[in-house]
Amino acid sequence: MSDMATSLSGLSTRPCKTCRIGLLPAFSTFVNCQECRARKNSKQRERTNLKLKRPSLLPTINLDSSNDNDASLTASHTGSAKENTSSRNDEHSLSFPPVSKKSFGNPINGDALNVDSSPDLLKMRLLHELEGQEKMTALKEMKTMLKAKVGASETRSLVVDNMIAHSTECQTASALYIKLKNKAIRVALAASSSSSPTRVLNFKGWHCIVAVDSISHEQRMDLVIQDLKKIAKIAFSSSNAATSTPNCASRSFACHCLGTKTSSSPASLQEVISKCKGRVFVVVESDSSHFKGVVGQRIEINVTH
């Protein structure tokens, strides 16, 4: 220590963080002196060696015994209190080291204990302890399992709620109408340009509101239809195909996004509608996704061609 102090006498130093005795140069990246680092490394090696030796100390589990052996084992454990006390104090009694639950699986999660595979479980090592081909094989298996789980979750999400998975969520009704209006304007400008091909409007969007007892799904749908015409400026027919259930109400309209001609001939009007062939769907249904259980209404607007 004196040699270090002598060598650092002309430099700015700071004390060791652990022992507060050793000195380190102020520019050093270490916070502990050399002796403390060596002591810490030695303890780390001892813990690593103990961890590697630990599986060999685990007892062998034998569950192939007959019912008679199980009965005799149960009888031996139900002896008198004096015998139990003496067996604990016996220097030759068998003592088992603590075993991690992960070594034998977790019965709560449905992981059954397999006696034949227990030696393999005892040989399990962490990923950073593997090297070479073993590490590459372990990484490949992990990636395969991860891809399988991600693919399964994506499939479930599409089946459970196809509308949410492929639609735009808005926080308010105004945001939903403005987004639909802006997209309709972009489609109309692109269609009117001679240099671009004909485009049609396709839109899926939804938002949630708190349900009001005095407004049913059908009444809410009437308000949404009025807003679509006034705010979003979406043109569609007045006749509709309606369906209604206690938890959901929906209507479907013929889209008139191409507009109608002023000609009095019904043939020209029919020609315009046949070119569009679009539908406007409005759906209002009950929503229970709020984390505090607040009952809501989900409003969905779907314009397809």
Query: Mean pLDDT over all residues of the chain?
Result: 72
Residue 279 lies in a domain: yes
Q: What is the pLDDT of residues 71-98, one digit of tens each?
A: 454 445 445 444 444 444 444 444 444 5
- Give the number of domains in the chain: 2
Q: How far is CA 82 from CA 78, 87, 88, 188, 279, in A?
A: 11, 9, 10, 94, 86
pLDDT tens by residue, 174-192? 999 999 988 888 887 877 7
> Which of the listed residues 40, 57, 74 is the one where a domain comes to its end?
57
- pLDDT value for 51: 84
Query: What is the pLDDT averaged over residues 106-119?
Result: 45
Task: Tell me the residue range of the domain where 19 lies.
Answer: 2-57
Whether residue 97 is contained in a domain is answered as no
pLDDT computed for residue 128 by the predictor: 72
| Domain annotation covers residue 196 | yes
Whether 118 is covered by a domain: the verdict is no
CA 174, distance to chain mean position in Å, is 30
Identify whether 89 is part of a domain: no
In a domain, residue 197? The reply is yes
Question: Does a structural domain hold residue 208?
Answer: yes
Q: Is the pLDDT of residue 36 over 90?
A: yes
Is the residue at 276 inside a domain?
yes
Query: Using CA atoms, how far apart are residues 203 and 303, in angstroms rounded to an integer?
Result: 5
